[in-house]
Chain A
Amino acid sequence: MTDSQISRSGPSVVENHLAEPGQGPTLPVEPEESGRWSAALREIVAGNIVLSVLSVVLALVAGAVLIAATNDDVQESAGYFFARPGDMVMAILSSVGGAYSALFQGAVYNFRRPDFFDAIRPLTDTLTYATPLIAGGLGVALAFRVGLFNIGGRGQMLVAAAAAGWIAFSWDLPFGVHMLVALIAGVTAGAIWGGVVGLLKARTGAHEVIVTIMLNYVAFYLISYLLRTPVLGTPGSNNPKSPASKETAVFFELLGSKYNLHFGFIIVIAATVFVWWLLNRSSMGFRFRAVGENPAAARVAGINVNRVYVAAMLFSGGLLGLAGVNQVLGTTTSGFGAGVDAGIGFDAITVALLGRSRPWGVFVAGILFGAFKAGGFSMQAAEGVPIDIVVVVQSLIVLFIAAPPLVRAIFRIPAPLERTARPRKKAVAQ
């Protein structure tokens, strides 16, 4: 035997990464290990839901602190806290309780209405508000799964709303067909606006985060300009606002004229099913996920990564386009301005994160944030608590969700077996 017969494995690449489980000298223990791993995995999955709920609770508590601290009665009673501490406690309870019960009654069920059909109206409002959030959330989530960060929801929604709105107010088509054409036009416009980002990334390597941010503003100024011209603007009006969508194009109401819930919700359910199928059951989704998890390996395996980026951004933009269409055909059918996106493009990011980029997770997260929105308006009206508090609570939820160790530390939950520090992509896509 010569020396050469031994030193056959290459330079020690592995050794430096010993932290990877199972790679190294302790091979024999593997069967046990994988058993332990699946147990750990189950724990993490179970823990995820608990952590999500705790995150929501934490955020609501933080919101309560803000509400109480800025409440006039609370501040007043704080002045004589040592004389009568009970006053302050009562003031806090009443301010927070009032705000959150208004939030609940505005979002789910209004106890003050005698009739069930009146009382349940807030819940349908919640679903109405949730509709574009789910559509947008799906778009952002889909991009996440491919390893792309689509912050361009605002721009994609704006061009989609403009395209759909333009068809809705300027074309004359029969009922149904009109809506369908407007819908397709809007989704296509959003898809193109997103696809450009994918194309730039594929062709030039331009980072999608930067491009989408910049395209948001380009779209905003473009639509602002068009609204001042006869293309989108209302003739004879100085107001940069479009004419109203025609009845033939508007999403019809699902539960009669008493409720705002419209056909868009059905489309969004269909979209959720579609995205679920796309990601989990289709070959294209397989490639999407492969590229999202490891673009290098995907490329070596013959997957055209650039084409996947373009395709994913087309779908993502199209879904955000759907959110934009919802705005002009469902929510603000009386004509739109350059603010028609109503911040949904950014809310969609939080929805996708809360839903952990899973289609049905996004669906649930969208309904939760829809409830916050619906309730937020009634809270503002009834209790005078500015609706901005909802934005604060939402962003806190996402921050907490993104950092499980923080939530665990606050509630003193033990960490599930090692691996607390997760690499970059996981925070997005898991």
Chain B
Amino acid sequence: MKLELRGITKRFGALVANDHIDLTVNPGEILGLLGENGAGKSTLMNVLYGLYQADEGEILLDNEVQHFSGPGDAMHAGIGMVHQHFMLIPVFTVAENVMLGHEQTGFAGRLDVAAARAQVRKISEAFGFDLDPDAIVGDLPVGVQQRVEIIKALSRDAKVLVFDEPTAVLTPQETDELMTIMRQLKQGGTSIVFITHKLREVRAVADRISVIRLGKVVGEAEPTATNTELASLMVGRAVELTVQKGPAKTRGRAFAVENLSVVDARDQVVVDRVSFDVRAGEILAIAGVQGNGQTELTEAIMGLQERVSGSITLDGQSLRHLSVQKVLDAGVGFIPEDRTEDGVVSEFTIAENLMLDRSYSKPFVKAGSLQRNYLAAFAEEKIAEFDIRAQSIDTHAGRLSGGNQQKVVLARELSRDLRLFVAAQPTRGLDVGSIEFVHERIIATRDAGIPVIVVSTELDEVVALADRIAVMYGGRIVGIVPGDTPRDVLGLMMAGEAPEQGAAA
């Protein structure tokens, strides 16, 4: 089926998320839709899928104009979607998830579960999946859940299949398997839109590439185009993203983690006997695919995890069994990975956010009373120092852009006397300018002689910042390698393979 988008425009208030976008996907073709975060890719696909209504423009399938008032219409017309955040109901079985929305029923609306099971088996076999139709989806590994999403779309006879950032949660192997599946689908005549911001992947599998930036299609490219060409299209200027960084001047071992394990609420061991140390004045990057225990590791360091074993020491002082407050008091600065959820209180002003983790003692609090004048002066100073663009210190944090919110968090954490700095996904979802700013600050912190831990799922960020790299997989550290380790080695490590030369760094 041929899909065509003509002049799609979607606005959110003053924000133009999609600006007259034109796209065509031919039957049996994989179109790579490449763009930075926030470029408007997901919005476009949500328009295509009927989740959003376009303000202007039209969608054509096999040259017929479509009107989707909801996902039901889009599905009916033959469009299927594999969502970035899986649209699966965790407590339902695979068969129930697949049949939901187009259930076959018997007498008096009774569900025909057998038919759904048969359908799941049929499609699974066609693609060589090994999938139990009666398994509870919430118990399945992520890669398998994604296959359930694919089966869900195929069971509705999708002729156009949209994959929205499908590899974000996959290991390299799982990514390869997914690509094989995509090629298989293409052979069968399915048209595919593959949304991603990862150049390698799109070049490996796409027949054609469209690049989208600031809500507009800025260019088309063949998969043979070089990374540099694609990259400059995607970010709009030839960017020099390697941060200027001198060699690390390290001093002694400052922070050490030994045999650290974390068990989560589902009784899963999510961090498994992890050991590493960080010297004063160096950046240790913790790399790995999302969900391999990095989040829980940083949370364990911060005292945010309950079931922890092993030891955590900072300058000889144990951080185990300390409350979050005590950990912060010990001089640990922390950038949480989910900024809007854990970093700022959106209904609080910038000033209030700047004292969020210092509400227990001087200088912001005296005798249980807030020192409002002190806070105001402090906030004015930090707004200037960290280039936070806002009308005033009383602007609510929720009104700021992601970059400015992150600067608020950064300002808050870096204005304390630090003995360790932990930054989890510090630039996730930020614009290029803010990324540079954050990176500069992180390096400046290192150069001030503070041990720094940067957790990132982005290999590029890891390579740009790290003096040493620890790669996590399945809750364990696969190896700790020097910062200049080749990416293909790192890639293998992220898939769980120990480096050949051993963990010597």
Interface residues of A (CB under 8 A from B): 1-16, 18-27, 29-31, 33-35, 37-38, 281-284, 286-287, 289-290, 293-294, 296-304, 418
Contacts and interface: CB of A to CB of B under 8 A. Distances in A.
Given A284-B368, A297-B342, A6 B234 contact: yes
Contact of A293 (B85, B345, B435): B345
B460 A300 contact: no
**Which among B15, B214, B336, B389 has the greatest number of chain A C-beta atoms within 10 A?**
B15
A297 B344 contact: yes
B389 A30 contact: yes
B239 A6 contact: yes
Nearest to A13: B429
Contact of B199 (A6, A16, A302): A6
Nearest to A37: B399
B369 A21 contact: no
A304 B40 CA distance: 38
A143 B276 CA distance: 44
A302 B389 contact: no
Interface in B387-403: 389-391, 395, 398-403
Given A18-B15, A25-B213, 9 more contacts: A4-B463, A5-B240, A11-B169, A12-B197, A24-B38, A30-B389, A284-B368, A296-B341, A296-B342
A26 B39 CA distance: 10
20 contacts: A5-B231, A5-B242, A7-B198, A7-B234, A10-B427, A10-B457, A14-B402, A15-B39, A18-B40, A25-B17, A30-B389, A33-B14, A34-B390, A286-B365, A294-B347, A297-B356, A299-B304, A300-B334, A302-B329, A302-B360
Nearest to A12: B37
Contact of B356 (A7, A13, A298, A418): A298
Interface residues of B, number: 96
A354 B402 CA distance: 34
**Which among A9, A18, A293 has the greatest number of chain B C-beta atoms within 10 A?**
A9
Contacts of A8: 241, 427, 435, 458, 460-461, 464
B42 A3 contact: no
Contacts of A11: 37, 84, 165, 168-169, 197, 290, 428, 457
Nearest to A16: B42
Interface string B216-260: 000000000001101100110011111000000000000000000
A281 B14 CA distance: 36
Given A1-B228, A6-B241, A302 B325 contact: yes
User: Which 10 pairs, one residue from A and one from B, show the smallest C-beta to C-beta distance?
Assistant: A3-B227, A11-B168, A10-B428, A6-B231, A301-B357, A302-B325, A14-B429, A34-B391, A15-B42, A25-B214
A147 to B, nearest CB: 11
B29 interface: no
Contacts of A35: 391
B234 A293 contact: no
Contacts of B200: 3
Interface string B295-312: 000000010100000000
Given A14-B429, A300-B334, A7 B345 contact: no
A200 to B, nearest CB: 18
| Chain B residues touching A, majority SS | loop
A89 to B, nearest CB: 48
Contact of B17 (A18, A302, A303): A18
A293 B12 contact: no
A25 B15 contact: yes
B12 A18 contact: yes
B38 A23 contact: yes
Interface string B160-180: 000001001100000000000
A297 B397 CA distance: 13
Given A9-B430, A34-B395, A281-B369, A16 B197 contact: no
Given A8-B461, A296-B341, A286 B370 contact: yes
Contacts of A303: 324-325, 356-357, 359
A10 B460 contact: no
B370 A300 contact: no
A102 to B, nearest CB: 43
B261 interface: no
A300 B231 CA distance: 36
A6 B389 contact: no
Contacts of A26: 14-16
B55 interface: no
Contacts of A286: 352, 355, 359, 365, 370
B348 A289 contact: yes
B401 A294 contact: no
Contact of B399 (A15, A34, A281): A34
B317 to A, nearest CB: 17
Given A18-B12, A299-B304, A6 B235 contact: yes
A2 B463 CA distance: 12
B124 interface: no
